[in-house]
Structure 1
């Protein structure tokens, strides 16, 4: 079984969903420390001049808290910003209702909202992995880093663990091989598509991809990767 384990991010970039496309099961890694200034509650969209950072406000955000201990505050401004930036995008009418549904969820818990967001976007994109949530799994206590990842792989019976390129400095192939696991990294391919006829701005969130590409085009972009 091919497995990926990732923290839940706000509107992750295309590579995150390519990773979900590449695996059989996906673990939402919500019982790890919140990273202030990371991508858990913010991301880039296409602004009127260049990329624009959007942020989901949190209550009492702290690196001393885990992701599943945080709560969301007001969220309507984020939706307004997306509407202002993408109101004339070719697939706004199809995508915006998905985003409205996500942010209409009554939960104030960040982890639950981000989980719903990931599931909703995957449903739109036609991705159907088997879902797990780290905090709900029975696993060894007190483990961190690579040890915790290996334990989750053992619990779920994974045979291959796939991570994004940023994990190359975090994981040791020999340690995985000793547990009977193949360690691979996803390498996204070059991506370019039309954005209002302007010069292409790369590295934006999945919202940008969906606003400018229909489901068939999105499917092709999701397959634009290799495993190394």
Structure 2
């Protein structure tokens, strides 16, 4: 498997890498995100994961899609009722969350996938985590998946950085890049309308956008369902194929 031991993953959060010039990316946490999320992490030297960012309903923070009987099916982490104004780090999983039930759903969906036996222990390790703080649960899952995929990028929690956390949007991103000493900032392709290359350039930071290439792989013989959770990709692809997708399956614009 891509990582020799799930219990020995290297959690490098809170330690900045040595080089002064580095590529950085910033993203909110997601639940079993799709391949492009991990391509973004793999493409940079330091990845900042937001904890002090507002939770958004009907996004991908606490849900994602798997393949079930040839169709996409949502899996979701239920949350305790709370104000919509709270940050991700202030939200918690509901008492009704049943890890065993979700694992059984995943098992039923992927039992006959070629890499089920290899991947399922990772999912057990993630979903059986007793942590109930939403951010901590997601943060630990991202770190474990990165370790499993041999992604060594340094992962830092946003609130640990010495910036003005009242800043918003591009101003906050620039502040984070500057405190990290980043020479390049890489953002998901969907953020092209949010940032100005000129503003980044004026701060001596090059702005890039990552565009993931769609690779069709064999699922269970039915019509291919694209952009599912990383769970699906890992269940149907070899270590070598996943490594190649992480390294070569995208374009930096």
- What TM-score do the two structures reach when normalised by structure 1? 0.97
User: Which residue of 148, 151, 156 corresponds with 2:172?
Assistant: 148
Return 5+ residue gaps in structure 2 as ranges. 1-21
Indicate if the aligned counterparts of 1:57 and 1:75 stay in contact, CA closer than 8 A: no
- What TM-score do the two structures reach when normalised by structure 2? 0.87
Call closer, same or farther: CA 1:45–1:106 in 2, change over 3 Å: same
Instruction: Give the match for residue 110 of structure 2.
Output: 86
Deviation at 1:63, TM superposition (A): 2.9
- For 1:202-223, what per-residue CA distance to the aligned partner results, in whole angstroms no more than 9, with x for missing partners? 0101000000012111111112
User: Which residue of 115, 140, 158 corresponds with 2:139?
Assistant: 115
Tell me, in whole angstroms, the C-alpha distance in 2 between the residues paired with 1:136 and 1:100.
Answer: 29
The aligned length equals: 228
Instruction: Give the match for residue 132 of structure 1.
Output: 156
Structure 1 residue 66 corresponds to structure 2 residue 90: no
Tell me, in whole angstroms, the C-alpha distance in 2 between the residues paired with 1:63 and 1:186.
Answer: 30
How large is the RMSD of aligned CA atoms in angstroms?
Answer: 1.1
Call closer, same or farther: CA 1:214–1:87 in 2, change over 3 Å: same
Return 5+ residue gaps in structure 1 as ranges. none
Instruction: Give the match for residue 244 of structure 2.
Output: 220
User: Deviation above 3 Å: which 4+ runs of structure 1?
Assistant: none
- For 1:15-71, what per-residue CA distance to the aligned partner results, in whole angstroms no more than 9, with x for missing partners? 111111110110011111001000000011101131111111111254311001011
Indicate if the aligned counterparts of 2:187 and 2:210 stay in contact, CA closer than 8 A: yes
Instruction: Give the match for residue 181 of structure 1.
Output: 205
Tell me, in whole angstroms, the C-alpha distance in 2 between the residues paired with 1:104 and 1:55.
Answer: 15
